């Protein structure tokens, strides 16, 4: 027997608001709040009320999945002293409080695991994002030497990193596994591994940074080894029923966003996606760039260059098409119709929203209205929606 009501007939059917399933997890819609570092952790790396309200508001705002910022799996891999940690069991409880809230709202909770590698030991963005100096040291934020695949690192104006030894690589592979164990203890449903943006794992993948001559460098197989061992390690500690994502830089920007002439290529990304998939990775989260300081977003801002809407979507499309591995698109996806079109064209399975969610925590609910799937404000929490639909029915004059 059909349970459709008269008002259902007026509701547009969309992919953006259709469920998606991976392993035992059903994503209630296709909208994911992108990982966004707040640089607001307690000094011991624990989450605070700031993080609670920051993430909880997106659950109220209708996103199907809320992802944490990068949670650091080893303190030497902190980007800044404000990074959230998941290197210590004591860091689990405040994250569990956030996860419990998300689950209470029917939202999927995703944790990003992160190690900043050569981009560690830095100032917060609004302090300059340069290497820590004696100014920060004087207030207790003492610099340290970052680690990377190689000393001839990816970055030019930051403190030179030192190359990890093979023993240290093995310890980090296990640290990712322990991070996954803690993420499970906190109740998270999904893990996303941050392997993009010039951070540690990307510093191994990209020939721009990785000049090692041992088993973790050289050809593509060597440069992928660290990432693949991390996937295997996480799968040993992460329940089989829970999905695992990898965020990669699908291409290295060299001179600019459109120059894909060398460095890590989209073809390399397709090879990596297949190898990760064979090791239990379920989805590729498709970003780009970040391996060279000179080609950063900040550089774009200085040059007053504009970003194209959805500039990374073609990468998500190609990986999905060529490998069959599901993908998530991210980057300058601004509104519901744009997100829906990406899904309709088969370019991605999930849509991550970053900065637009910062300006509008109810982005998902506004997208539903723009797409005509929620004419009666029924997707809104009733505490808000009941009043808003009433005001709309009454109308406002003047």
Residue closer to ligand FMN (CB basis): 36 or 220: 36
Q: Which of 45, 61, 62, 70 binds ligand FMN (CB under 6 A)?
A: 70
Alpha carbon distance 80, 39 (integer Å): 7
Alpha carbon distance 40, 82 (integer Å): 5
Q: Which of 128, 143, 222, 354 binds ligand FMN (CB under 6 A)?
A: 354
Residue closer to ligand FMN (CB basis): 163 or 205: 205
- Using Cβ positions, the residue closest to ligand FMN within the complex turns out to be 354
Residue closer to ligand FMN (CB basis): 119 or 194: 194
Is residue 235 involved in binding ligand FMN (CB under 6 A)?
no
Contact of 164 with 156, CB cutoff 8 Å: no
Q: Which of 36, 160, 220, 271 binds ligand FMN (CB under 6 A)?
A: 36
CA dihedral for 169, 224, 244, 293, sign (positive or negative): positive
Alpha carbon distance 287, 34 (integer Å): 11
Q: Which of 11, 194, 223, 235 binds ligand FMN (CB under 6 A)?
A: 194
Is residue 207 involved in binding ligand FMN (CB under 6 A)?
no
Q: Give catalytic residue positions.
A: 199
Stretch that binds ligand FMN, among 141-149, 150-158, 182-190, 330-338 (CB under 6 A): 330-338
Residue closer to ligand FMN (CB basis): 114 or 159: 114
**Interface with ligand FMN in residues 112-131 (CB under 6 A):** 112
Is residue 350 involved in binding ligand FMN (CB under 6 A)?
no
Is residue 295 involved in binding ligand FMN (CB under 6 A)?
no
Binding mask 83-112 for ligand FMN (x = CB under 6 A): -----------------------------x
Is residue 309 involved in binding ligand FMN (CB under 6 A)?
no
Q: Which of 22, 32, 34, 95 binds ligand FMN (CB under 6 A)?
A: 34
Residue closer to ligand FMN (CB basis): 151 or 308: 308
Query: Which residues form the interface with ligand FMN (CB under 6 A)?
Result: 34-37, 69-70, 112, 194, 196, 247, 287, 330-333, 353-356
């Amino acid at each position: 027997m059909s349970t459709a009501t008269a008002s259902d007939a007026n509701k547009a059917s969309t992919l953006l608001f259709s469920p998606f399933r991976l392993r035992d997890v059903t994503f209630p819609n296709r909208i994911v709040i992108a990982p966004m570092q707040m640089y607001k952790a307690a000094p011991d790396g624990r989450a605070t009320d700031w993080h609670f309200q920051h993430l909880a508001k997106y659950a109220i705002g209708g996103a199907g999945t809320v992802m944490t910022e990068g949670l650091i799996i080893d303190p030497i891999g902190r980007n800044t002293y404000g990074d959230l940690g998941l290197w210590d069991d004591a860091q689990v409880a405040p994250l569990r409080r956030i996860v419990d809230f998300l689950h209470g709202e029917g939202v999927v909770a995703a944790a990003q695991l992160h190690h900043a590698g050569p981009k560690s030991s830095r100032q917060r963005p609004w302090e300059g994002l340069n290497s820590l100096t004696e100014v920060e040291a004087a207030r207790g934020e003492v610099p340290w030497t970052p680690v990377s695949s190689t000393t001839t690192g990816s970055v030019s104006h930051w403190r030179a990193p030192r190359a990890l030894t093979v023993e240290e690589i093995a310890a980090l592979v296990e640290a990712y596994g322990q991070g996954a164990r803690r993420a499970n203890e906190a109740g998270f449903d999904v893990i996303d591994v941050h392997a993009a943006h010039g951070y540690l794992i990307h510093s191994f993948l990209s020939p721009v940074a990785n000049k090692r001559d041992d088993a973790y460098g050289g050809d593509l197989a060597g440069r992928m080894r660290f990432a693949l061992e991390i996937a295997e390690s996480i799968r040993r500690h992460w329940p089989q029923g829970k999905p695992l994502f990898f965020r990669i830089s699908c291409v290295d920007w060299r001179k600019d966003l459109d120059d894909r002439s060398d460095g890590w290529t989209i073809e390399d990304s397709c090879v990596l996606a297949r190898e990760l998939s064979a090791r239990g990775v379920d989805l590729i989260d498709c970003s780009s760039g970040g391996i060279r300081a000179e080609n950063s977003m900040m550089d774009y801002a200085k040059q007053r260059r504009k970003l194209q809407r959805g500039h990374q979507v073609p990468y998500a499309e190609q990986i999905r098409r060529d490998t069959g591995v599901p993908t998530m698109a991210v980057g300058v996806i601004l509104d519901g119709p744009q997100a829906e079109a990406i899904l309709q064209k088969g370019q991605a399975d999930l849509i991550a929203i970053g900065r637009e969610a910062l300006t509008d925590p109810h982005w998902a609910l506004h997208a539903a209205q723009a797409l005509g799937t929620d004419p009666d404000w029924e997707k809104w929490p009733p505490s808000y929606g009941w009043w808003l639909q009433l005001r709309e029915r009454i109308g406002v004059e003047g």
